[in-house]
Chain A
Amino acid sequence: MEGSVGYDNDLNLRATELRLGLPGTEPVSIVRSNKRSLQQVADDDCGVNGCKSDDQNETAPPPPKAQIVGWPPIRSYRKNNIQTKKNESEGGGIYVKVSMDGAPYLRKIDLKIYSGYPELLQAIENMFKFTIGEYSEREGYKGSDYAPTYEDKDGDWMLVGDVPWEMFITSCKRLRIMKGSEARGLGCGV
């Protein structure tokens, strides 16, 4: 893992915003709180502490509201059960654990807040401060030591990106960023 990023008290959340919602949503006022809290965006999305502030792509607009870790204080299994009045497909979150070989601790993310693989991978890259290579169907992820994998409902480990997105989010149980030869092994077989 990279060395520690300096603690930036003046981090402008908007400038470093990473996708928390679907593209096309307009940003509304960010939750008012003291500066430090804005730096801790939810586990569900990318840790602002690890943001690549300069490379930030502004192609998708920032989310309506920055989620704060731990607020509101609702337990994960309740969050997963929540259904909105609006429509069923929007209801509930899909929280999965994300681990990276060699990283000290796991994160949890909500797969529902990403609209596709590029967003998800970018989020994971930012969360763990590394780069995933370029994906191709035949050769998996090239150009990096890491490959994002997931465990599906049947307990098999698959390469992220091999199945259509909708199928992925319903079958993914957990994510693991594999490193080294194990990663290459998966990446080469399709």
Chain B
Amino acid sequence: MQKKTAYSFPDEILEHVFSFIQSGKDRNAASVVCKSWYEIERWCRRKIFVGNCYAVSPTMVIRRFPDIRSIELKGKPHFADFNLVPDGWGGYVLPWISEMAGAYPWLEEIRLKRMVITDESLELVAKSFTNVQVLVLFSCEGFSTDGLAAIAASCKNLRELDLRDSEVDDLSGHWLNHFPDTYTSLVSLNISCLGSDDVSFSALERLVGRCPNLRRLLLNREVPLDKIANLLSRAPQLIEFGTGTYAAELRSDVYSNLAEAFCNCKELKCLSGFWDAVPAYLPVIYSVCSRLTSLNLSYAPIQNPDLTKLVSQCPSLQRMLVLDYIEDSGLEVLASSCKDLQELRVFPSDPFGEEPNVSLTEKGLVAVSSGCPKLQSVLYFCRQMSNAALVTIAQNCPNFTRFRLCLLDPKIADYRTLQPLDVGFGAIVEHCKDLRRLSLSGLLTDRVFEYIGMHAKKLEMLSVAFAGESDLALHHVLSGCESLRKLEIMNCPFGDKALLANAAKLETMRSLWMSSCSVSLGACKMLGQKMPRLNIEVMDEKGPPDSRAESDPVDKLYIYRSVAGPRFDMPPFVWTMDEDFASELS
């Protein structure tokens, strides 16, 4: 190697400088400056984010980064959330845990999303990582409360246990008892996904009572309303709280206890839960409302006027999740009351109903876009939309970073002009120059994709369904969207030509999902041969691809870049199209 010149820093200084660089992207950039920076950086990297657990192998990660303390892994593609990825697809965390057990004994933080984690894996975590402080299992599955018991029993330094949206086999509520009496470090606990009838409430009470630093507590639906007051009185320092079921017979003692308990939580800023909520008990939270920055009522069947009344009392709201019971009128009130609103999500109360059950239309969203200048992130389910409304929204909110519109009838046109919604979404991408995430719906032609390719230069994630007419649509996106990382497409009539013409682009992205589109088996094979650093995975429940013609469309296609080569844990209904595919089958 070259000898160091008078101008280069000693390693220790560089290491010290790097310690100020936390962002993975920045560290990645630093690591390619030169070989010595690469070396120094890899020894002092402590935190790693792996957006696709199959993009790299645990061995490779460990080889490059010998001393990681915090890891985040993501498994299944996003559309798994909507049942598009069959069970058994993959995303197993055990290989990672097994290898890290030996390599990273000081691991402190494990964050997993859409992965399969078994009790065996959890037991291995408990045994191997004595210092684990954070365990987040976001939309994971494969484990039961037995695995949680192992974590509770062994992880003395656990601060955060978050099971959000995971599917857990509830074998027994007694896992909470496995936290030893000496354990007092809990700061954040999210068990909202647990279904068990016997989350041992007394164990929970004792746990909450002995953890003075508990700031975040999200209960599951089974915790009855009349137990909440007691719990809250043991944790008045809470910042974020999620109730259990919010329904009970109206009793004045329960009511006043609750009101008092909430009143005593002087730092409470975020509320959620509210399953089955009844209006009678809503006023108990009024004392907290003025401070609330985040309110999740998306499980509450509360309707107007109770709903609107509640919302009007929360002027500090930054984040609001609600069912469409709020209706246009409630959104207008939100728009006039909540000037700090940054994020709005409106979910459908009756998504499969034939007729609208509530009066929620594009007008509500227009009102919020007009009244809330800080609005950045929107997820909106509704039944009608117009280009004019979208244009207005775009002009009102040039700061959008995330815009997701879901029209319940996926190919519905502009209800006023009967035109496609191309122009409306075009306005969104044109005005919102910082848009990172976009979900389209409604009647859409190739046009909208032309606009997206032209304007959406910062777009990182695009979700498309039932849109477009030809391969031009896909071509516009792949050739125009410079920052695109994730593209997921369902039920669109295009594929082959655009994919093959933009094959190289796919290596610059994390992944591409296409289901029920027009991608032929032949094209998949060609891609597999042309692009060795892409894993081309074809999913089909009807049988192996070789039993069909080359021109037959594949059912589901998942393409992702990888330095680890094709994976070996594929279930029988997934096939990799790599160079060896043709020979493998003969």
A7 x B542 contact (CB < 8 A): yes
Given the known interface contacts A37-B466, A82-B351, the answer about A75 and B88 at a Cβ–Cβ threshold of 8 Å is no
Among A1-46, those with CB < 8 Å from B are 3-5, 7, 28, 31-34, 36-37, 40, 43
* Complex interface bits, A79-98 against B, C-beta within 8 A gives 1, otherwise 0: 10111111000000000010
Asked if B349 lies at the interface with its beta carbon under 8 angstroms from chain A, I say yes
Given the known interface contacts A68-B491, A77-B165, A83-B301, the answer about A105 and B353 at a Cβ–Cβ threshold of 8 Å is no
Most buried by B among A67, A71, A78, A79: A71
Cβ-neighbour of A75 out of B81, B348, B516, B571 (below 8 A): B81
Report the minimum CB–CB distance from B389 to chain A (whole Å).
19
* Complex interface bits, A150-185 against B, C-beta within 8 A gives 1, otherwise 0: 000000000000000000000000000000000000
Given the known interface contacts A73-B406, A84-B349, A104-B571, the answer about A3 and B84 at a Cβ–Cβ threshold of 8 Å is no
Q: CA A5 – CA B552 in complex, angstroms?
A: 13
B351 x A72 contact (CB < 8 A): yes
Main secondary structure of the interface of A (DSSP, over half): loop
A105 surroundings in chain B (CB, below 8 A) = 86-88, 541, 571, 573
Binds A, one of B33-41, B407-415, B427-435: B407-415
B301 surroundings in chain A (CB, below 8 A) = 83
Given the known interface contacts A71-B465, A72-B348, the answer about A84 and B542 at a Cβ–Cβ threshold of 8 Å is no
Cβ-neighbour of B410 out of A3, A33, A97 (below 8 A): A33
A31 x B348 contact (CB < 8 A): no
B350 x A85 contact (CB < 8 A): yes
Q: CA A79 – CA B298 in complex, angstroms?
A: 12
Report the minimum CB–CB distance from B415 to chain A (whole Å).
15
The chain A residue sitting closest to B89, CB to CB, is A105
Asked if B246 lies at the interface with its beta carbon under 8 angstroms from chain A, I say no
A64 surroundings in chain B (CB, below 8 A) = 354
Q: CA A81 – CA B552 in complex, angstroms?
A: 39
Report the minimum CB–CB distance from B357 to chain A (whole Å).
5
With an 8 Å Cβ cutoff, the count of chain B residues facing the other chain is 53
A83 x B542 contact (CB < 8 A): no
B572 surroundings in chain A (CB, below 8 A) = 104
B83 surroundings in chain A (CB, below 8 A) = 43, 69-70, 76, 108
Given the known interface contacts A73-B406, A81-B299, A106-B87, the answer about A34 and B543 at a Cβ–Cβ threshold of 8 Å is no
A65 x B193 contact (CB < 8 A): no
B350 surroundings in chain A (CB, below 8 A) = 82, 84-85
Cβ-neighbour of A97 out of B87, B542, B548 (below 8 A): B87
A104 x B410 contact (CB < 8 A): no
A106 x B88 contact (CB < 8 A): yes
A97 surroundings in chain B (CB, below 8 A) = 87
A85 surroundings in chain B (CB, below 8 A) = 303, 349-350, 357-358
B: residues with CB less than 8 A from A are 79, 81-84, 86-88, 165, 193, 275, 298-299, 301, 303, 347-354, 357-358, 381, 406, 408-411, 439, 463, 465-466, 490-493, 515-518, 541-543, 547-548, 552-553, 571-573
A and B contact pairs by CB, cutoff 8 A, 21 listed: A4-B547, A7-B548, A33-B491, A65-B354, A67-B352, A70-B83, A70-B515, A72-B410, A75-B81, A76-B83, A78-B298, A81-B275, A82-B348, A84-B349, A84-B353, A85-B358, A97-B87, A104-B573, A105-B86, A105-B541, A106-B86
- By Cβ-Cβ distance, the 10 closest A-B pairs, closest first, are A4-B543, A105-B86, A106-B87, A4-B542, A37-B491, A70-B82, A104-B572, A70-B84, A104-B573, A73-B82
